[in-house]
Amino acid sequence: MDEESKNRLTDRVQDATAENLQTLTCPACGGGLSIQYTSRGKSALSVMCGHCMWRVIRDGLATEPLWVRELGPKIQTAKKAVEPPVSQLTGRQRKAQISSAASKKR
Ligand SMILES: [Zn+2]
């Protein structure tokens, strides 16, 4: 993730509607984003991807993003969309069962 992509994404986050916001994903891995808006002191917007471990913080926002009122200040996007299919095919192992019939013969 280069700085330009991060900035572009942060722009989109800042301008997104509540509906749009939740469809935003990491441009690098397509995973969901952790987004947090804080308004203590100066306002700041933090966007990060838990997979790629990058984080962008933009502070000094002029206005509160639209989605904050609807969704709250802390959001995880694309919750449902990205879940890698777990297709682990374990080869069947046939276990030869040795039945030891202990037959006692006189
Ligand atoms: Zn990512």
Per-domain boundaries in the chain: 3-76
Q: Which residue has the higher pLDDT, 45 or 1?
A: 45
Q: How far away, in angstroms, is 60 Cα from ligand 1 center? A: 25
* CA 12 / ligand 1 centre spacing (Å): 16
Distance CA 41, CA 39 (A): 6
pLDDT tens for each residue of 24-68: 999 999 999 999 999 988 899 999 998 999 999 999 999 999 999
For ligand 1, the distance from its centroid to the CA atom of residue 42, given in whole angstroms, is 27
Ion ligand 1, residues whose Cβ is below 5 A away: 26, 28-29, 31, 49, 51-52
Q: How far is the CA of 15 from the centre of ligand 1 (A)?
A: 20
Residue 75 near residue 22 (C-beta atoms within 8 A) = yes
